[in-house]
């Protein structure tokens, strides 16, 4: 089966002779869904893999919230997958090749066909979660469907290009990034840090909407320190520092490791997923990636503090999740993390230098760690619960589409 089995004509997907059955079935399901009279929000991104982090959790949390709080709105999530598949859960997978060394991520090849698939779902609003093929396809779909398209800027591709390939790569990527995001009807930024980067690149129409946290999943009563100490083979005097995430270069996991080695006893660094493929390190314990958010919450809550050394983090959803677990955070005074972590809930290092970071860890433990953790939990519940985040986003969708269903829940007539 290949994407060439699909014919795109006048913005529509059409069945053609010899069409692969899985593609045909996916298309039939999608065409049937267009009979649903509710306005449809379509989210699309390639940042949705088996081991994805914050973007995936944001989208799944949004889907659950809309089902519970906006029954008069239909929601479809379009992401790359190993094959074409349209599930009853409203998640549509479109075949895309797996990226080499891409930790499970897939890259769709055709902007035109991706846009045609999205347009075929009869969207009232489209939200693109990346500037790659799905983001470009979302713009094409918006033109075909005659609906507004929101670009959610979850990352800084230019900064990542400079980090991975060198400063020479920054300007070309930034230019392409700015050109794409300037075409969206509105650009959502999760932090002032990313908003400034967009403005510097010449992008307008920006609204800042911080992400949120599932406070019922990530909560302090999941703490079981004795269980974790036994699992790790450590004594009660150990000070457990935790980081959970992908082993990506921008996460600065090497800074965390160096800082803990400098500190020595009784500090230990627990890496959840982030230590994959790394050689053994003194005072560093690597745990496998955890798919279950409750399992992640149990580990984080059972540690003493959460550590995050990325000084260019767009937002840092995992930081919010740690704070919701009642754990204080040691971050760096830069990037999106510095907008959610302050002295009332943790400690900020003056830079991502290992010596500065080690000093910040010691400064945290010179204070009342448990009191800081309690304050972190309160801050998350009051300011970052998903309900507040999605209410604000729904207002934006309603404003752009002119559909009141996004703003106020309405009675839904049963479908025949």
- Give Dmax over CA atoms of the chain in angstroms: 71
Residue 42's pLDDT band (boundaries 50, 70, 90)?
A: very high
- Quick check: do 3-212+386-406 and 220-383 share a fold? yes
Task: Locate all alpha helices (DSSP H) within 70-120, ordered by sequence.
Answer: 111-119
Q: What is the pLDDT of residues 262-308, one digit of tens each?
A: 999 999 999 998 877 777 888 999 999 888 999 999 999 999 999 99
- pLDDT at residue 197 tops 50: yes
Model pLDDT, residue 261 = 96
β-bridge partners, 269: 241, 284
Between vectors from CA 393 to CA 387 and to CA 399, what angle results, nearest 5°?
135
pLDDT band at 174, cuts 50/70/90?
Answer: confident
Q: How far apart are CA 50 and CA 104, in angstroms?
A: 6
Residues in the chain: 416
Locate 262 and state its tokens: 């400098």
The CATH H-level superfamily of 3-212+386-406 is Glycogen Phosphorylase B; (3.40.50.2000)
Q: 220-383, what's its fold?
A: Rossmann fold (3.40.50)
- How big, in percent rounded to 5, are the helix, strand and coil portions of the chain? 45, 20, 40
pLDDT at 411: 60
Count of CB atoms situated within 10 Å of the CB of 298: 18
pLDDT band at residue 13, thresholds of 50, 70 and 90? Answer: low
* Residue 359, number of CB atoms within 10 A of its CB: 17
Residue 8: pLDDT above 50? no
Q: Where are the domains of the chain?
A: 3-212+386-406, 220-383
Is it the case that residue 123 has pLDDT exceeding 90?
Answer: yes
- Mean pLDDT for the stretch of residues 338-343: 96
Backbone angles phi, psi at 50, to 5 degrees: -55, -35
**Nearest Cα to 61, choosing from 385, 371, 278?**
385
Count of beta carbons in the 10 Å neighbourhood of residue 350? 12
Measured on CA atoms in the order 223, 224, 229, 235, is the torsion positive or negative? Answer: positive
Structure tokens at 392: 């604000």
């Amino acid at each position: 089966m290949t994407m060439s089995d699909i014919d795109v004509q006048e913005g529509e997907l059409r069945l053609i002779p010899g069409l692969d059955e899985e593609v045909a079935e996916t298309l039939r399901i999608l065409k049937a869904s267009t009979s649903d009279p509710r306005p449809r929000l379509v989210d699309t991104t390639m940042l949705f893999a088996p081991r994805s982090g914050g973007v995936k959790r944001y989208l799944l949390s949004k889907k659950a919230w809309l089902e519970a709080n906006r029954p008069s709105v239909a929601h479809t999530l379009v992401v790359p997958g190993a094959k074409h598949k349209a599930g009853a859960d409203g998640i549509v997978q479109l075949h895309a090749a797996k990226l080499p060394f891409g930790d499970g991520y897939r890259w769709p090849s055709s902007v035109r066909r991706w846009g045609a698939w999205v347009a075929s779902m009869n969207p009232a609003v489209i939200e693109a979660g990346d500037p790659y093929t799905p983001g470009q396809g979302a713009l094409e779909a918006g033109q075909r469907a005659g609906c507004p398209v929101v670009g959610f800027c979850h990352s800084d591709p230019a900064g990542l290009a400079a980090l991975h390939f060198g400063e020479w790569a920054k300007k070309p990527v930034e230019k392409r990034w700015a050109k794409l995001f300037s075409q969206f009807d509105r650009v959502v930024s999760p932090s002032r840090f990313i908003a400034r980067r967009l403005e510097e690149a010449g992008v307008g129409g920006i609204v800042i909407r911080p992400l949120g946290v599932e406070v019922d999943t990530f909560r302090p009563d999941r703490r079981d320190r004795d269980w974790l100490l036994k699992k790790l083979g450590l004594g009660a005097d150990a000070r457990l520092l935790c980081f959970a995430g992908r082993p990506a270069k921008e996460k600065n996991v090497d800074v965390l490791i160096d800082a803990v080695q400098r500190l020595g006893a009784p500090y230990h660094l627990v890496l959840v997923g982030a230590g994959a493929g790394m050689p053994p390190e003194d005072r560093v314990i690597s745990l496998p990636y955890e798919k279950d958010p409750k399992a992640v919450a149990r580990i984080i809550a059972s540690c003493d503090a959460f550590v995050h050394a990325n000084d260019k983090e767009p937002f840092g959803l995992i930081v919010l999740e740690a704070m919701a677990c009642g754990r204080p955070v040691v971050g760096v005074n830069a990037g999106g993390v510095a907008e959610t972590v302050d002295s009332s809930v943790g400690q900020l290092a003056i830079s991502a230098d290992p010596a500065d970071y080690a000093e910040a860890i010691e400064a945290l433990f010179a204070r009342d760690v448990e009191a800081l953790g309690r304050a972190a939990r309160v801050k998350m519940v009051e300011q970052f619960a998903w309900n507040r985040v999605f209410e604000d986003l729904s207002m934006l969708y309603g404003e752009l589409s002119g559909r009141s269903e996004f703003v106020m829940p309405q009675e839904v007539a049963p479908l025949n």
